[in-house]
Structure 1
Amino acid sequence: MEVQETRVQTDRVFTIPNVLSMARLVGVPLFLWLILWPVFGGPKNDGWAIAILMLSGVSDYLDGKLARRWGQVSRLGQLLDPLADRLFVLSTIVGLTARRIMPWWLTAILLAREIFIASLLPILRRHGYGPPEVNFIGKAATFNLMYAFPLLLLTTYDNWVGSVASVIGWAFVWWGTTLYWWAGILYAVQTRRLVKTQDGALSE
């Protein structure tokens, strides 16, 4: 499966989709503070942390959809959107692991995927390509994980809400993790094809 390409339609910086992506970036340190504060003896603020995660998931859906519908696809947006996704996923993984809500081995699986993707970037850069554009499976993986993380936070509540959230949340975790690695493999295949095509062109 090829990585989907969306043509840049504007050079504007302050479009609504870009502002939504910027807001997600601002939300990363705020979310980390809220979720990690109990680790250092502070009060639990899981309700606010869950709200920020939910807003992040909604904005992640809206920024790409609005950019395409309103003709506001920009080079900045193509960089900000995956960056905000990745930082939110990483910060949530760190927070949930520190709170012992997510087991370390699952954290290792997700972080290994990030390292795998990072290893492709020097290869692409060496051949004159930028980071791979997010494909549909990559977006689906992020959506699943962003739905899973608030539900995992709800498992800290010792009542029926926590029990139901645990079942649904872990289902989303496994779907998201599987798709996350599937998307990573597709990026690797795309990288190989790009490099092979360029090498073939140079040898002619």
Structure 2
Amino acid sequence: MGNSQTVEGWGIWTWPNLVTAVRMAGIPLFCYLLVATDHYWQAATVLAIGGGTDWVDGQLARRLGQVSKLGKMLDPMVDRLYIMTALLALTYVGVLPGLFTLAVLLREVVLATLVIVLRWHGYPPLQVHFLGKVATTMVFASFPVFVIAYFGGPSFTGATALAWALAWWGLALYWLGAIMYMVQGARLIRSARIEARSVASA
């Protein structure tokens, strides 16, 4: 059994952080392969591996007892960078329509605003719930399938259908999760205001 003790300080030199750094290196590599070369299969592979292994560094940190401040900051940041970079790169090369990209970006703006509002009221960011994780997984899983479908030619028609199924279902769950976050945040703020009024009137 591993333990989940936190490494003192920022804990830069740990195995989980090395894994995170390798995953991060895949982001510019994916962009290069997609935009500047014809190696689309390799681009899809880098994207699938880099994004699909987002659980590895977290699991490794807990099992080795190397949970660190740097890891807690880098791990979610790299996950978000993969999604945003893939989204924008695929839109740039014409794989994804601008409307889909706008819908995802708007959701990110809404949640970023919610985080700011909660911070203003003294609350930390909300814990990621299961629906949000499923939605993110579905949206991201569609990206490498889109690459294969778009550049693979007519023989990959089935991949196109799969990519859009993942993308639209993922987007729907993405926004459903955002609504749940907003409701949860509104309840926290409302309860804080009620408590403040009761204290003031006491």
Q: Which runs of 5+ in 2 are unaligned?
A: none
Number of aligned residue pairs: 191
Give the conservation status (yes or no) of the 8 Å contact 1:28–1:88. yes
* Equivalent-residue separation in structure 2 for 1:21 and 1:184 (angstroms): 26
Contact 1:35 1:49 in 2 (8 A): yes
- Secondary structure (helix, strand or coil) at the match of 2:122 reads coil
Partners of 1:198 and 1:52 lie apart in 2 by 45
Going from structure 1 to structure 2, the CA distance change for 1:149 and 1:141 (only over 3 Å counts) comes to same
Q: Secondary structure at the match of 1:184?
A: helix
CA contact (8 A) 2:34 2:40 kept: yes
The aligned counterpart of 2:54 is: 60
Counterpart position of 2:163: 169
Q: Equivalent residue of 1:120, what SS?
A: helix
Change beyond 3 A, Cα 1:109–1:157? same
Structure of larger gyration radius:
2
Structure 1 match to 2:140: 146
Offset of 1:88 from its aligned partner?
A: 1.0
Q: How far, CA to CA, are the matches of 2:22 and 2:193 in structure 1? A: 40
Task: Specify whether residues 72 and 137 from structure 1 end up closer, same or farther in structure 2 by C-alpha distance, changes over 3 A only.
Answer: farther
Give the TM-score normalised by structure 2.
0.81
Which piece of structure 1 moves more, 11-20 or 86-95?
11-20
Contact 1:53 1:146 in 2 (8 A): no
User: 2 CA distance for matches of 1:80 and 1:123?
Assistant: 23
Counterpart in the other structure of 1:93: 87
Please list, as runs of the form range in 1=range in 2, the aligned pairs for 1:19-168 lying within 5 A after superposition.
Answer: 19-37=18-36, 43-69=37-63, 72-155=66-149, 156-160=151-155, 162-168=156-162
Q: Percent identity?
A: 37
Residues 79 and 189 of structure 1, relative CA distance in 2, 3 Å threshold:
farther
Q: Kindly state the Cα deviation for residue 71 of structure 1 after the two structures are TM-superposed.
A: 5.0
What residue identity is the alignment partner of 1:201? E
* Conserved 8 A contact 1:20-1:59: no
Which protein, 1 or 2, shows the higher relative CO under an 8 Å CA cutoff with sep ≥ 6? 1
Question: Taking structure 1 as the reference length, what is the TM-score of the superposition?
Answer: 0.80
Q: Deviations over 1:31-85 (max 9, x none)?
A: 2232222xxxxx3221221111111233213234444555554444343232222
Query: What letter corresponds to residue 6 of structure 2 in structure 1?
Result: T
1:163 & 1:98 partners in 2: Cα distance? 22
Please give the secondary structure, in 2, of the residue aligned with 1:60.
coil
